Structure 1
Amino acid sequence: MLKIIDELREKLHNKAKDKPLTDPDVLKASQELDRALDEFYKLLQQKKEKD
């Protein structure tokens, strides 16, 4: 999961350095990263509740 997040973060960074932050491609990459981070934190919370 961390590898996926890192790849999405790099993808977002690469798009944002060439395009404005309001560009649809940048926004899409940002949303993909947000979803991955939400899922990661959800998994962490579930693990914490089990422990």
Structure 2
Amino acid sequence: MSKEQMITNIEKKRVELIEITAKNGLNSTIAIHYSQELDKLLNEYNRLYLKKAAK
């Protein structure tokens, strides 16, 4: 996956999370699930791209 694709996926997941929390509340099971998915994407992006730039 390219850097641009990863950023696009992160933005899509962020929008989905905002929509889910608006409908179901911040502490709903589905919102927590989406939040965890977003965390995984952000962690992967950080691991692949940000830590390399810091070296």
Q: Which TM-score applies when normalising by structure 1?
A: 0.86
| Count of aligned positions | 48
* Aligned residue in 1 for 2:28: 23
Instruction: Measure the CA separation in 2 of the matches of 1:35 and 1:27.
Output: 12
Unaligned runs of 5+ in 1: none
**CA RMSD between the two structures:** 0.9
**Which aligned segments of 4 or more residues in structure 1 are displaced greater than 3 angstroms?**
none
Corresponding residue number in structure 2 for 1:39: 44
TM-aligned CA deviation for residue 22 of structure 1: 1.0
The reply to whether residue 7 of structure 1 matches residue 45 of structure 2 is: no
* CA distance in 2: counterparts of 1:7 and 1:36, whole angstroms: 11
| Displacement of 1:10 | 0.6
**Unpaired runs of 5+ in structure 2?**
1-5
Tell me the TM-score normalized by structure 2: 0.80
